[in-house]
Amino acid sequence: MYISLNWLKDYVKITSKIKPENIAEELTNHTVEVEGFINSAAQFNKVVIGKILEINPHPNADRLRLTLVDIKSKKLNIVCGAPNLELGQLVAVAMVGAILPNGLEIKESLIRGEKSEGMLCAEDELGLGKDHDGIMAINENAKVGEAFAKYLKSDDIVLEIDNKSLSNRPDLLNHYGIARELSAIFDLTLKPYEKVISRKWDFLSDKENKFEVKVMASDLCLRYMAVAISNIEIKESPAWLKDRLIAANQRPINNIVDLTNYVMFDCGQPMHAFDATKIKKIVVRRAEKDEVIETLDEKNRILSADDLVISDGKEPVALAGVMGGHNSEITADTTELLLESANFIAHSVRKTSQKLGLRTESSVRFEKALDPALTELAIFRFLTLLKEICPDMKINSSLIDINNVNQKELIVDFDLEWLTNKIGQEIPKDNVINILEKLGFILEDKKTEILKVHIPSWRATKDISNKEDLAEEIIRLYGYNNIDSQMPILTMDLPEVNEERKIERKIKNILCLKNSLNEAYNYSFVGEDQLKKLNIDFFNYIKLANPLSGIQNILRQSLVPGLVSNIKTNQFKSDSFGFFEFGSVFFKTVSNLKKDNTEGNFLPYQEKRLGLVISGSDDLIARLKGIIDSLFKNILNKDVEAEFLVLENVPGWADKNSIAKIILLGQEIGEIALLNQEVCDNFNLKKGAALAELNFNKLVEIILSQPTFHFVDTPKYPPIIRDLAFVVNEKVLYNDLRRDILKFNSLIKSVDLFDVYVGNKLAADEKSLAFHINYLSDERTLKSEEIDLLQAELINHLDKTFEAKLRNF
Amino acid sequence: MKNKLQRIREDFLKQLAEIKDPNFLHELEIKYLSRKGELSELMGGLKDLSVDLKKEVGELANSVKKELQEKFNEASKALNNFSGKNNVVDVTLPGTKLERGHLNPITLVQNELEDIFTSLGFMILDGPELESDYYNFTALNVAPNHPARDMQDTFYVDLKNKDGQYDLLMRTQTSPVQVRAMQKYGAPLKALIPGRCFRNEATDARHEHTFYQVEGMLIGKNINFANLKSFLEIVGQKLFGPSTKLRMRPKFFPFVEPGNNGEYTCFLCQGKGCRVCKNTGWLEIVGAGLIHPDVLRAGGIDPEIYSGLAFGFGLNRLAMLKYNINDVRLFNSGDLKFLEQF
């Protein structure tokens, strides 16, 4: 939003001591963010008044002429195509180096072979209107050589305000509202709005009134005011009006349209003027399904029953609060108009404007919930100004006012002691009262400690409703930066430790620092194509109702797709690398997390996973198993061993010969697998990848359920270590053999595999597994002889159970 | 037996002196010093001697074994160190290359913040990323028709409630955890909530639909605006250095009242003005305020007894500023060349 300083001066006295930069800074500190300010004179830099001394035909172009222009300091040769050139005429000359408001930069150039040292300007090029038919007419009293800005008396400063910072302040989207804030910030007197309006008009009586207005959708239209006016002459607006609209970044159109815009920028109420001869009556109603309106911008808009329209009883003539209709617009021939000043419900306007992609100055204001009292002030303000620019105008209706507003005045008890506690320091009562009164709050009795504060209508729509809201008014105007900071005094307590987060961080450090993996953050969303390439059926996946794209429209149920894409992204950047990721996955089943404040409603189940992937050429599965094993040992600070068991359900992306369940302390905790060749091909992966996915929530559970660690005496007696290699059928699993050896006798403390052999020294379906078997007793030194005996029994036992034969080297 | 011992000693030392190749060392070790070597074998015979002799020869054998072992170690060390043809070794050769892993910069910044607040006695809390409309909006005082609830701004998922409406969404902020925490722990409460959030907007160098926030809240008796201010001050000083100043400005958030943003002295130019702070000398970093009474109520806390403060940071922005990263998409790119710098 653009705010003109000259316009503000209509309502508050801004002395020369208050510099534009002060205003920008203080508004930002107390009210809304000012993004910058524009000095209106600066935009006419290097534009001066000149006089045409000669006009000659252009040798190479019929439409162009060569002029010699006097700008006092020198005489310039300028090529010009305008038809309205006359000798002795005064013109606006843009010299070389000028950058015009429309963005055009003036350079010395050759135009069809003739030198041109500047440009004679038309209105539109100067941002002063839309006229491009000829050069702009300059008053003959102007001085040759004078700066064009000085000629225009252009001495305004325009503040640019960030609309986003106004989202909860519908009262500030206009000059009067900003003036009110300035009056509170700089302690200035604010001119009452009543002083700039006249309420005395010759409205027709209700009996005489011919215009019928009906509001059918009173839930979407809080108030509809209208007045018919005749004897209007449509013409260009006077200079002061055009100047102000230009300052507000609004293109002047004609006196009536300009005036509706002016009032909107003045007090915040959007208005619309219909050509009264084109409409018989006004009916405010919901649109019919697929009803069409051609809006002022000459585009057809297809409507639905959610949209509110103004109709003439038959067809829509305006899109309520958004834009007028082409069929009823003011034209050069209009002599009678019907002026609308209404209050439409914010969300309805917003929905319509958003759905149609049509954001206007009007819709932007209605969206924020405007004060319904404003409709009346705006009508009187319009009539007051109209009388100035169309003195012959005649009121041709009653003051139509259909008022569905049913809100009582809001009164808030404001306890000053409470305020002191809320802020942490006392703000003098006089300051509090002054701030509230400057902002338009009415106080019943200023002597009491609990002030009864009447909330003005323009702050009551959604902005202020309780004492906390009032506290904000006091704090922000007193100045956030004027309040002394003070650390809270709190009772000490021992906060609950988030073990999960602690473990997560520890795991990240182990994987990163010890195993050289990199931490990936992948999106929670995956795409159909991606899942299809991984042979994953996504029938049961939660999908986004409104995705940005088909590439990311499904909520992931596994970290695998993301990790595969990490491999793909980096496959040419490094020979061998790996990633891990912590991330949530989402399921349609129900969790134990409450969904709302009612009983029995729960969120979908979500689980945190730890995903791992490595890529390269060596034995990937063995390496990844090693990483997982080392992770378990480190995170549990204990010589646990990761176990890997056969997994029957093979996901479509996994190699069915290289997939296993991961077991930690007897509990299944995840899966590990090699990516199969088909999937590698689908993604054009040049090297293989091994992936593992662990249920992190379960891992945390296991870790936390471990008994407290205690030191155990180091072994008093020496161990006896025997190395044995067994030849078994290839289908016998290492883990079964290992478990069996371990539980064979309590003297066997550990079994470490140190070699696996398959080859031509054995039969084709055989393999050899070689173990260090560690015998240890807590009570005595073991004798070689007893271990020999035990070993013989073990060999015998394994022969019976697995048909394992001791390997003969 | 003593003679035998002497002979073994002499043979060993003689052979050791002749060795120039470290590979032969091992053979020597096995022959004399191993468990089944000559020395051990000889000592094995000790048990057959008389008690006196056993003692005398035993001591001698032990001292010889010690001497030989030491000499062997010396020779072994020397040989292994100077193994070049002319005993020249390039000591500047590098060690074995060990890969280094890398954490995501978001994790680094998040850890830093968690540590600051843990030291102040805050709990670190998590919450679900797939949230309900109730916790993400309603409980946070976001009105039913607030723009944030639009499909344009929020990702909804395709699960409809009994009334046929979408009421489950990807959380747009970490704030729903505020209300969940209040319900679980009550007051007083000190918590820091980091996490992944989502907005339905197209990505470019400055916008991401998946981003990270950290927010803090403190609820107690008499928590006031001056407390909020000093909290924001120390956070700034911890993050950006002890001379960092705070500037507060009004800003509207539905779940706080009053609400403000906080700007800190630009740490790149120390407030002098630079490209990053757009020559203002200040960086807008934090959104904050006193918790709205309606939000406390939604969390089951009586706003007439307790009050609270809350503040939030964008982790992406903090990381971008801290490490001078100019494209927000890099965080979720999984690009090694990006990660390898951290």
pLDDT tens digits, chain B, 342 residues: what are they? 778 888 888 888 888 888 777 777 778 888 888 877 888 887 877 777 777 777 778 888 888 888 888 888 888 777 766 555 566 788 888 888 888 899 999 999 999 999 999 999 999 999 999 999 999 999 999 988 777 787 778 999 999 998 899 999 999 999 999 999 999 999 999 999 999 999 999 999 889 999 999 999 999 999 999 999 999 999 899 888 999 999 999 999 999 999 999 999 998 888 898 888 888 899 999 999 999 999 999 999 999 999 999 999 999 999 998 898 989 999 999 999 999 999
Option in B129, B233, B247 nearest A584 (CB): B129
Domains and CATH numbers, chain A: 2-33+162-191 (3.30.56), 42-151 (2.40.50.140), 212-403 (3.50.40.10), 411-482 (3.30.56.10), 499-704 (3.30.930.10), 720-806 (3.30.70.380)
Cβ distance of A423 and B126 shorter than 8 Å:
no
Tokens of B203: 């990505």
Q: What is the pLDDT of residue A809?
A: 60
Asked if A512's CB is within 8 angstroms of B130's CB, the reply is: no
Element (H, E) at A662: strand A654-664
Rounded to the nearest integer, the mean pLDDT of chain A is 92
- Do the chains contact at B250 and A472, CB–CB below 8 Å? yes
What does the buried/exposed string (b/e) look like for A522-547 if buried means 16 or more CB atoms within 10 Å of the residue's CB? bbbbbbeebbebbebebeebbebbbb
Q: Measured between beta carbons, which residues in chain A are less than 8 angstroms from residue B200?
A: 546, 548
C-alpha distance from A398 to closest chain B C-alpha (Å): 36
Residue-level pLDDT at A711: 87
| Binary contact (A521, B200; C-beta < 8 A) | no
pLDDT of residue B82: 54
Q: Looking at residue B86, what is its pLDDT? A: 65
Give contacts of B125 with chain A, Cβ < 8 Å: 498
Test mutation, B150, B182, B225, B316, chain A, max A CBs within 10 A: B225
Give the model's pLDDT for residue B196: 97
CA torsion B70-B76-B78-B82 (nearest 10°) is: 180
The encoded tokens of residue B39 equal 């020395």
Closest residue in B to A586 (Cα) is B130
Segment A178-193 mean pLDDT? 96
Residue A635: both structure tokens together: 């995170």
Per residue in A463-485, pLDDT (tens digit) is 899 999 999 999 999 999 999 99
Q: Residue B81: its pLDDT value, please?
A: 64
Residue B84 confidence (pLDDT): 52
Rounded to an integer, what distance in angstroms lies between the CA atom of residue A376 and that of residue A399? 9
**Of residues A674 and A137, more confidently modeled:** A674
Domain ranges for chain B, please list them: 2-81, 105-127+172-339
- Is the Cβ of B237 closer than 8 Å to some Cβ of chain A? no
The answer regarding whether domain B105-127+172-339 maps to CATH 3.30.930.10 reads: yes
Q: Check pLDDT > 60 for residue A771.
A: yes
Binned at pLDDT 50, 70 and 90, residue A195 comes out as very high
What's the confidence (pLDDT) of residue A42? 79
pLDDT at residue B31, as a whole number: 82
Residues 260-279 of B with CB under 8 A from A: 260
Average pLDDT over residues A208-235: 94
Of A517, A525, A603, the CB nearest to B101: A517
Burial A400-423 (b: 16+ CB within 10 A, else e): bebbeeeeeeeebebebebbebbb
Query: In angstroms, what separates the C-alpha of A616 from chain B's closest C-alpha?
Result: 14
pLDDT above 80: residue A34: yes
Lowest mean pLDDT among A128-132, A426-430, B64-68, B236-240: A128-132
What pLDDT was estimated at residue B85?
58
Using a CB-CB cut-off of 8 Å, the residues of chain B touching A597 are 134, 139, 298
Name the minimum distance, in Å, from the CA of A697 to any CA of chain B.
13
Q: Which of B218, B32, B187, B238 is nearest to B122 (CA)?
A: B218
As a whole number of angstroms, the distance between CA A333 and CA A232 comes to 9
- Interchain CB contact of B175 with A (< 8 Å): no
pLDDT (0 to 100) of residue B99: 83
Please write the tens of the pLDDT for every residue from A620-657.
Answer: 999 999 999 999 999 998 888 899 999 988 999 999 99
pLDDT, tens digit, 9 for 90 and up, residues A448-464: 999 999 999 999 988 89
Average pLDDT over every residue of A659-671: 95
Amino acid at A313: G
Band of the pLDDT at A406, cuts 50, 70, 90? confident
Q: The whole model's pTM is what?
A: 0.83
| Most A-contacting residue of B129, B196, B292 (CB-CB within 10 A), to test interface | B129
CB contact under 8 A, B103 and A487: no
pLDDT above 70 as % of chain A: 100
The tokens describing B217, both together, are 């809240």
Give pLDDT, residue B42: 79
For residues A75 and B109, what is the distance between their CA atoms, to the nearest angstrom? Answer: 65
Give Cα B66 to chain centroid, integer Å: 49
pLDDT at A438 over 90: yes
Does the pLDDT at position A756 exceed 70? yes
In whole angstroms, what is the distance from residue A187 CA to residue A479 CA? 13
- The chain B residue lying nearest A574, using CA atoms, is B336
Residues of A in contact with B98 (CB under 8 A): 516
Q: Report the residue from A423, A486, A597 with minimal CB separation from B230.
A: A486
